[in-house]
Amino acid sequence: MKASKAPPQERPARRIEIGRRTAAARPVTIVIADDHTIFREGLRRLLETERSFRVVGEAGDGAEAVRAVQQLRPEILLLDMAMPRVPGLQALDELSASDSPVRTIVLTAAIEPPKV
């Protein structure tokens, strides 16, 4: 006679907290800054599949990123480091100096440790 397996325990559903908000609250606002249009479009489409995110703007260089953050006041900036005109690190310095409350996630395609 085989021993029967007990049914797996179901875990209770829980909400994932993002800072002080829950997934049921208003979406996190995001600006995407990258000089590659196709990357920005793809990232926007990916993020917009989640109701908890809302892309409010895009920028193709660091100067545009700084302006977008100052005008749109997103909660998150996805910032490429290697961009024309104003590089990502310089844009980050400008935003830090302006006391912007935006939180920044740095993006890079660099694979060499000195560039990261």
Give percent of the chain with pLDDT exceeding 70.
Answer: 73
pLDDT of residue 99: 84
- Helices 62-72 and 88-97 pack at an angle, to 10 degrees, of 30
Mean predicted confidence (pLDDT) in 17-45: 83
Q: What is the domain partition of the chain in residue ranges?
A: 26-115
CATH number of 26-115: 3.40.50.2300
- Asked if pLDDT for residue 41 goes beyond 90, the answer is yes
Question: Using one digit for the tens of pLDDT, what is the confidence trace for 76-114?
Answer: 999 999 888 888 889 999 999 998 899 999 988 765 666
Strands across the sheet containing 76-80? 53-59, 28-33, 76-80, 103-107
**In whole angstroms, what is the distance from residue 68 CA to residue 29 CA?**
12
Average pLDDT, the chain: 82
